[in-house]
Amino acid sequence: METIATIPDFDVRAIRKYFPILNRELNDKRLVYFDNAATSQKPQVVIDALTNYYSHYNANIHRGIHTLAEEATAAYESTRVAVRRFINAALPEEIIFTRGATEGLNLVAYTYGRQNINAGDEIIISGMEHHSNIVPWQILCEEKKAVLKVIPIRENGELDLDAYKSLLSSKTKLVSVVHASNSLGTINPVKEIIDAAHRVGAVVMIDGAQSTVHLDIDVQDMDCDFFAFSGHKVYGPTGVGVLYGKKELLESMPPFMGGGEMIKEVTFEKTTYANLPYKFEAGTPNIADTVALKSALDFIEDVGKESIRNHEIELLQYATEQMKTIPGLKIIGNAKEKVSVVSFVIKNIHPQDLGVLLDNQGIAVRTGHHCTQPVMDYFKIPGTVRASFAMYNTKEEIDRLVAGLYKAIKMLS
Amino acid sequence: MNNNKTIQETEEEIIDSFSLFDTWEEKYEYIIDLGKKLEPLDDKYKIADNIIKGCQSTVWLVSEFENGRIFFKADSDAVIVKGLVSMLVEVLSGHTPDEILNAKLDFIREIGMMNHLAQTRSNGLLAMVKQMKNYALAYKGIKEAEKI
């Protein structure tokens, strides 16, 4: 197969050829996949990396002295190096492999949180968090008698930063905010949020589940203390994710889980823990998916993040303009800075009915509350229809969505 | 509304109606129509106790037990689910607990709507079928207790 580097300019038709699933037909219609914020499709190079690993060098990593173990270890660790570069962490040992963003958030809540949050302390999250960036902190606050504070959302889907700043105080010990909202598309000004939190001595965790695939991530420039994302949303496999943490913080934290891999020495009296990053990687890790994650990141870099972003902005603008022509349609989330997510409702129609009728036309969107129930409560809606775009989507597909919506509305009214 | 037809007969009628449709559009237009025609549940029944909460849409289900037969009324906030709910009510309402417990509801598969009962749909429909059977089980218990 030709390498992606041979594609001179961003050419969506050429890019689509790398994603075999896009050839699928549903109801005799070519699949239009607009559920990328839930999970992205996988390029052939990622699928090949999985097959190649299991076909040629499957072995348990780190302690084996045979050739396969060495090859598997080298491939696994080379993903760590690739991730470090991808998000510009200072050191590879600041990269912890997890099952996904959710595990990264929980890891920090259960280790850093339990160690450092005390009664009366305050944790700040935002009103547009995914449930995975709400529930771990609620559990922690209940256990520690700490207080959870919420940055309010404004009508356009942006955070109220003045309100945020007024929530900050010497009681604030941790701030955990989503970089890009999965239900609204809003890109939050994380640098400003982090800087303000640091001024009161709080540490900051950024949920990068949605942002990592769309935006340039530089954790050093951002100066976040923790950053989590999922492999499957960046064209990689499911079941692998990344937690970045600043080295001095990760070193000071107790382990999350005990087991193999994460120990230095075990006796019945006392166990000493392995150095970073292994202290947080108990048990045999998800080797195959971690190995294939590197292929996904390489693929993104080969296509070019800037080109992808430009293409996605074009799709977002086109979709927004086209959707506005549909009578009764209201876009939920109109922030100035958005990733390629369009969430909407249509007057007097339940989002689920639209989802069912679009599915019958071969168009995959997501409907519902998108695991952000407080956002839906704020806008007083049961849910939205969400179309989210990736590098392989086209304007023609958006045309099909718009036509599909007209048809659905006609059938429902 | 006493139901003189057997569950099997009502299921067959529905299957016959659907056999006239050639396209998915016709099927769904029919279901949407059923949904719109279903008499809305009085607001006094739309209480938490009667909600079968799906992840996306809500179904309300009310039952009454009269002369050994169970009568169902239901509603949903999504019209396609409401159409499917309407068919389930039509099939099962007015029958005895045993008849309801033994109903296989194969018509859902026959008319090509099985995917709506899949768990991923999270629309409360699967939970509604379970709840209808739970009512049947509960009323059966009451009936048998009365005999003692």
% of chain B with per-residue pLDDT over 70:
91
| Across A25-36, average pLDDT | 94
| Across B121-135, average pLDDT | 80
Q: What is the pLDDT of residues A177-190, one digit of tens each?
A: 999 999 999 999 99
Interchain CB distance below 8 Å, B79 and A369 = no
| Across A351-372, average pLDDT | 93
* Residue A91 · residue A98 · CB < 8 Å: no
| Across B127-137, average pLDDT | 90
Per-residue pLDDT, B143? 80
Q: Closest approach of chain A CAs to the CA of B148, in angstroms?
A: 47
* Residue B20 · residue B112 · CB < 8 Å: no
Give the tokens for residue A50: 């999985």
Q: What is the ipTM of this complex?
A: 0.89
| Listed residue (A123, A129, A137) closest to A203, CA to CA | A123
Q: Tell which of A345, A353, A372 to mutate to test the B interface (max B CBs under 10 Å).
A: A353
Cis peptide before A277 (omega within 30 of 0): yes
Judged by a CB distance cut-off of 8 A, whether residue B79 touches chain A is yes
% of chain A with per-residue pLDDT over 90:
91
Q: What is the pLDDT of residues B57-80, one digit of tens each?
A: 888 999 999 999 999 999 999 999
* CATH architecture of residue range(s) B7-147: Alpha-Beta Complex (3.90)
The CATH number fitting domain A49-301, selected from 3.40.50.2000, 3.30.499.10, 3.40.640.10, 3.40.50.2020:
3.40.640.10
- Confidence band (pLDDT; 50, 70, 90) for B122? low
- Confidence band (pLDDT; 50, 70, 90) for B13? very high
Q: What is the DSSP string of A31-87?
A: -EE-BTTT-----HHHHHHHHHIIIII----SS--SHHHHHHHHHHHHHHHHHHHHH
Judged by a CB distance cut-off of 8 A, whether residue A403 touches chain B is no
Other C-beta atoms within 10 Å of A256: how many?
Answer: 21
Per-residue pLDDT, B116? 75
Interchain CB distance below 8 Å, A360 and B28 = yes
Residue B1 pLDDT > 80: no
Lowest model confidence (mean pLDDT) among A154-163, A303-312, B45-54, B77-86: B45-54
Q: What is the pLDDT of residues A34-46, one digit of tens each?
A: 999 999 999 999 9
Enumerate the residues of chain B whose CB falls inside 8 A of the CB of residue A357. Answer: 28, 80
* Helix B7-19 and helix B24-37, axial crossing angle in degrees, nearest 10: 130
Which residues lie closer than 8 Å to B79 by C-beta, 6 or more apart? A350, A353, A412, B32, B35, B36
- Determine which one of A50, A371, A381, A402 is catalytic: A371
- Confidence band (pLDDT; 50, 70, 90) for A254? very high
Instruction: Decide the pairing of beta strands B58-66 and B69-76.
Output: antiparallel
Residue A2 pLDDT > 50: no
Q: What is the pLDDT of residues A70-114, one digit of tens each?
A: 999 999 999 999 999 999 999 999 999 999 999 999 999 999 999
Residue A343 pLDDT > 60: yes
Per-residue DSSP letter, A109: I
Per-residue pLDDT, A295? 98
The fold of the A4-42+304-412 domain, in CATH, is: Aspartate Aminotransferase, domain 1 (3.90.1150)
Residue B53 pLDDT > 80: no
| Across A10-31, average pLDDT | 95
Residue A404 pLDDT > 50: yes
| Across A111-134, average pLDDT | 98
Cα A80 off chain centre by:
17
This prediction has a pTM of 0.93
A-B contacts at Cβ under 8 angstroms: 42
Domain boundaries along the sequence of chain A: 4-42+304-412, 49-301
Per-residue pLDDT, A287? 98
Judged by a CB distance cut-off of 8 A, whether residue A258 touches chain B is no
Per-residue pLDDT, B123? 62
User: Which chain A residue has the Cα nearest residue B35?
Assistant: A412
Interchain CB distance below 8 Å, B29 and A411 = yes
Helix (H) or strand (E) holding B136: helix B125-147
User: What is the dihedral angle through the alpha carbons of A63, A68, A74, A80, rounded to the nearest 10 degrees?
Assistant: -80
The overall average pLDDT reported for chain A is 95
Nearest to B78 among A27, A352, A369 (CB): A352
Residue B105 pLDDT > 80: yes
Nearest to B57 among A352, A357, A411 (CB): A352
Q: Tokens 């390498």 belong to which residue?
A: A3
- Confidence band (pLDDT; 50, 70, 90) for B142? confident
